[in-house]
Amino acid sequence: MVNNDELDLIEIFHKLWRKKFFLCFCFLVPAIIAIIVSLLIPKRFTSETTFLAPEVAAGGGIIQTPFGGFSSSGLGQSALTSQALIALLKSDIMIKDLIEQFNIMQYYHFEKERSAIDFVKEKMTNIAFLADEGVLKLTVETYSPETSKNILDFYINNLKKLNEEFKLTTESPILKIISPPYIPEKKSFPKTKTNMAIAGFGGLICGLLFIYFKEKTANIR
């Protein structure tokens, strides 16, 4: 015997079974909407390249500090450090050349160059330093798989150009690439299956909560 405010497992199962079509509706409708929205959103493609940190390429190593930074060993006095390399890849000089080369301002309808620079730095490209692996990973995401790959190629080639212009290092090559840029075959955004699952299960949870509070209200009455 159970109290009025409590339901045993069998009774709960029976109640949910009677609401099975409602729960299926709660799952399927949000899932279908998520699929439609995902198909309408412009696809984005991500390409990446990985290269050895200069310290590792020179036969040295990288030591992470307790404050989140890192120190290096093994580099000659004329070689670029990982910090300097990252700074150069993120520099306004590099980004301005990229914006001009790929007509970023016209393609994305920017009126001010500063807005385009910030967009490239914050939304289009990402530079990750993986100290444990001794590598740097550069990724680019655009609406075209070929453009994503071409922008990475530009980064590599323009880095050589800037080095020749500013005489930053005599080391050659500047980058020791271990994973070259590639044309991505699958989109990186939107993630249709993930969106469908999140929306479907979110709707299902809402449906279960609706049934729960409806039963609670009925019992109170």
What is the chain's pLDDT, residue by residue, as a tens digit (221 residues)? 445 455 467 787 888 889 999 999 999 999 999 999 999 999 999 999 999 988 777 666 555 544 344 445 555 555 678 888 999 999 999 999 999 999 999 999 999 999 999 999 999 999 999 888 889 999 999 999 999 999 999 999 999 998 888 888 877 788 899 999 999 999 999 999 999 999 999 999 999 999 888 888 876 66
Q: Could you tell me how far CA 9 lies from the centroid of its own chain? A: 43
Query: Sign of torsion, CA 199 201 204 206?
Result: negative
- At 61 the pLDDT is 59
CB burial string 96-108: b at 16+ within 10 A, e below: ebbbeebebbeeb
Query: Sign of torsion, CA 110 111 117 118?
Result: negative
The answer to whether the pTM exceeds 0.85 is no
What length does the chain have?
221
Non-local (6+) Cβ contacts of 150 within 8 A are: 102
